[in-house]
Amino acid sequence: MNDTPSYSPQAPDRAEVDALPGLTLLQFGTDWCGHCQAAAPAVAQALQAAPATLAAMRHLPVEDGPGRPLGRSFRVKLWPTLILLRDGQEIARLVRPTEAAAVAQWLAAASSAA
């Protein structure tokens, strides 16, 4: 599936994430997760259609699982989990998205609300 992000096993530590300026989208999951593979096209489509105000947003697909401290620090329980940060602070979370429109609406509302 070419829409599936390659989840990076080299995750930044929590202090690095907390220090990131601007908007950052953390996407927790794994490359082998069926839910992650099913959500990937919706997330990709929503990001491609995102308004210009989100153009500078960082997107970090992070491999999660037992012993992965970043996911544990955000209390991630299900994959994929999308966490939107502004200046290192969580402003919104979306778990197991399935539709691009829902992801796009969530991104727009979350990024303008906080």
Is 61 strand, coil or helix?
Answer: strand
If we measure between CA atoms, which residue out of 40, 26, 3, 38 comes closest to residue 89? 26
Spans of the chain, pLDDT less than 50: 1
Confidence (pLDDT) at 1 = 41
Kindly report the pTM of this predicted structure.
0.92
Confidence (pLDDT) at 83 = 98
Confidence (pLDDT) at 38 = 95
Confidence (pLDDT) at 3 = 57
